[in-house]
Amino acid sequence: MVTQPPTDPHEKAKRLARLIVADIILYNTEKIAEGIKSDSLFALLDKDITEGRKYYDRQVDPQVARESPYYDWALVDQLVKGKGGTIPSSIW
């Protein structure tokens, strides 16, 4: 059975946000570990996060992008909560 992509613009935006953040995680595992340990996660990933946000904003319905922080939520849920919980840190 093949799953059809969501048609609701909010669901599309959520899905895209999760995919972008998953790619950031996939290609930056060492930076993520270093950033969590040294409390510099967002500084180390600034370029990737910014590029991901630009891509997200270009692909998502402009009204949905303005109204909903799905990209930010994906960063917190997948990057901070997901990866952050497995790496020792004094602040996370």
Q: Is residue 36 part of a domain?
A: yes
- Domain tally, the chain: 1
Q: What is the 3-state secondary structure (H, E, C) of the chain?
A: CCCCCCCCHHHHHHHHHHHHHHHHHHHCHHHHHHHHHHCCHHHHCHHHHHHHHHHHHHHCCHHHHHHCCHHHHHHHHHHHHHHHCCCCCCCC
User: Is the pLDDT reported for residue 56 higher than 90?
Assistant: yes
pLDDT value at residue 37: 86
Instruction: Determine, yes or no, domain membership for 3.
Output: no
- Token pair for 38: 């040294």
Whether residue 89 has pLDDT greater than 70: no
Residues near 87 by Cβ (< 8 Å), separated by ≥ 6? Answer: 32, 33, 36, 37
Predicted local distance difference test score (pLDDT) of residue 31: 94
Q: What is the pLDDT of residues 2-42, one digit of tens each?
A: 666 678 999 999 999 999 999 999 999 999 989 988 889 99
Tell me the pLDDT band of 90, cut-offs 50, 70 and 90.
low
Answer whether residue 21 is part of any domain.
Answer: yes
Q: Is residue 26 part of a domain?
A: yes
Res 84: pLDDT: 55
pLDDT at 81: 78
- Asked, for residue 91, whether it belongs to a domain, the answer is no
Q: Is 78 a domain residue?
A: yes
Query: Which domain range does residue 23 map to?
Result: 9-83
Closest Cα partner for 86 from 20, 7, 32, 23? Answer: 32
